[in-house]
Chains A and B, each alone.
Chain A
Amino acid sequence: MSDLSPQDAYNFAYLDEQTKRMIRRAILKGIAVPGCQVPFASREMPMPYGWGTGGVQVTAACLVPEDRLKVIDQGADDTTNAVSIRRFFQRTAGVATTGATGEATVIQTRHRIPETPLTEGQILVFQVPIPEPLRFLEPRETETRKMHELEEYGLMHVKLYEDVARHGQIATAYAYPVKVEGRYVMDPSPIPKFDNPKLSGSPAIQLFGAGREQRIYALPPWTGVVSLDFDDHPFETSKAPHDCDLCGAKDSYLDEVITDDQGGRMFVCSDTDYCAGRRARGMKGRLWAPEPEGAA
C-alpha cells in the first residue's frame, strides 16, 4: 500500500459514490424542468467558495474516464482557477485535458461561453455564484421560491425599467436575466450579455452549479432561452467597439489590457483558445508581433 500516491486514496473524480448519486439525481431533475433551481447537498471541496465548488461538483458527477476536459476562467485556459481545476481532475479522475474547445467533451467555465460553437455530445458546466436572479431584489428565499412558483417576475421588469429610466438603456451588462422556455427566469451566471444568445438552441447540454448556494439548474440542448427586454428597448449584446489587437477578430468578446501608465491599452480576445487558433491560421491583429527567435 505504501506505493499508493496520495490521489489514489480518493475515489474516481474525488467525490464518493453516494454524493455523486445525489448530484446526479439533482442534475436529471434540473434537466426535466429547464431553468428551475434544484437544491442539492453541496459538499466541502478542497478549494474555497467562489472558486467554482458548484461547477466542480457537477463536473465530478458527469466525468467519465474517456472525457477530455477543458476549464476556462473568463475565457482563459491559463489562469490560476482554470489551471487548478484542470489539474484537480487530471489527478483525481485521470481524464485527458485540452485547451481546444472543439476537442473537449466537458468544458467547465467561469463567466464565459467559448466563441467556437459547441456541438452535440459536449457538456458545458457553469460556475455560479448567486443562482437566484431575484436575490438582489428580494433577499428571502421563501419569497423568491413563491415568485418562481407564481411566475411573478414583475419585479425583474421593474429593475430593468429603472435601468432604462436612469441610464436611457438597460445597463445590466453581465448576469443578464433570461427566461427559459417561456417559464422560469434564470440567472445565466455572470457571463457577459454578449454570450446570452449562445445559451439558446445550443446543441450541447448546459449545466449550472452553485456550491455555496447549493443549487443546480440546467438547460437541455435546443432549449429556447430569451433575454428579458422591452418592445421599445430590445435586448442588445455589447462588446468593446474594437477588433482584437492580437488576432484581428471582429466578432469575439474583448478584454481591455492596460499596457503602460500613459493611457496605453490594447483589446484582446477574452477566449484565449479562439484567439490562439486564429493566430495559428495566420490572422494578425494591430499589435501582433511573433516571438523573436531564441526568446524564452
Chain B
Amino acid sequence: MIADALEGGFAEAPVQSARAFREILEAMARPGTIRRVQGATPPAPLSIAAGVALLVLTDPTTRLHLAGEADCPAVRDWVAFHIGAPLAKAEDADFAVGPWEALQPVSRFRIGQPDYPDRSATLIVECDRLVNHGPALTGPGIGAATWLNLPETAAFRANRALFPLGFDTLFTAGDRIAGLPRSTRVEAI
C-alpha cells in the first residue's frame, strides 16, 4: 500500500499541471463543455480527472474533504504524499471530492462571504459518465445553451439563487472533466 501511494503523480509537474489547468480553465469558463485531462493515476476509487484536478488545484494551503468512498486509506495516503492538503470536515473545506450522494447535503459547504464571495468551496463530483445531454445550461460562458447530465437540478438551482455566493463544481468521469460555476442557470426538469 505504501508503494502505491508513491505512484500516480505527475512525472513532469510544471508542464503537465499547466496543460491540465488550461483544460480545467476552459471547462469552468465554458460550463457544460467536456474536456479531457491526463497525467495522474490516483488510486481507486478516484478517477484520473479527479486526481488531476487535485494535483493542479490543491496543496498544503487548501483544506480538502474526502467524501464517501473517496475517504479510504489509499486515497488518504496518496493525498498525503502527493498533495499534503490537510483533510477537513465538509463545513471547513476549500475542496471536496467524492460521488454526488456522498457530498450531500451540499448546503453544508462554504459559499463564501458577501464581501469575499471567492472564499467558497469547489466540489469535485465523481460521475459514472459525462455527456452533453440533460438539463439546459445558460449564463456567463455559454453562447446559446449547452446541456450536461447533472446528477440533479434542484441543488444547483438553489446554489445559483445565492449568487454571487455559492459553491463551484467540477464533474469528473474517467479522464473527462466539466465545470459548473455558481453563475450558471440550470433549467428546471
Contact = CB atoms under 8 A, between A and B. Distances in A.
B19 interface: yes
Interface stretch (A16-24, A110-118, A191-199): A16-24
A61 B125 CA distance: 24
Contacts of A36: 117-118, 164
B140 interface: yes
A193 B50 CA distance: 42
Contacts of A148: 115
B29 interface: yes
A34 B140 contact: yes
Nearest to B119: A29
A221 B143 contact: yes
A13 interface: yes
Contact of B28 (A18, A28, A145, A183): A28
A24 B17 CA distance: 10
A61 B120 CA distance: 21
Given A12-B14, A29-B118, A64-B18, A22 B29 contact: no
A78 interface: no
Q: Categorize the interface residue count of chain A.
A: 35 or more
Interface centre among B24, B25, B116, B182 (most CB of A within 10 A): B25
A21 B140 CA distance: 24
B140 A222 contact: yes
Contacts of B59: 18, 21
Nearest to B61: A22
A229 interface: no
Interface centre among A18, A183, A221 (most CB of B within 10 A): A221
B18 A183 contact: no
B57 A64 contact: no
B183 interface: yes
A211 interface: no
Contact of B141 (A13, A25, A27, A223): A223
A11 B14 CA distance: 7
Interface string A1-37: 0000000000111000110111011111111111010
Which 9 pairs, one residue from A and one from B, show the smallest C-beta to C-beta distance?
A32-B181, A220-B141, A12-B14, A29-B118, A145-B115, A223-B140, A149-B114, A220-B29, A38-B118
15 contacts: A13-B18, A17-B14, A18-B59, A21-B17, A25-B62, A28-B168, A29-B118, A31-B141, A33-B118, A34-B183, A65-B18, A183-B163, A219-B140, A220-B30, A220-B181
Interface of B: 13-15, 17-19, 21-22, 24-26, 28-30, 56-59, 61-62, 114-118, 120, 122, 139-143, 163-164, 168, 181-183
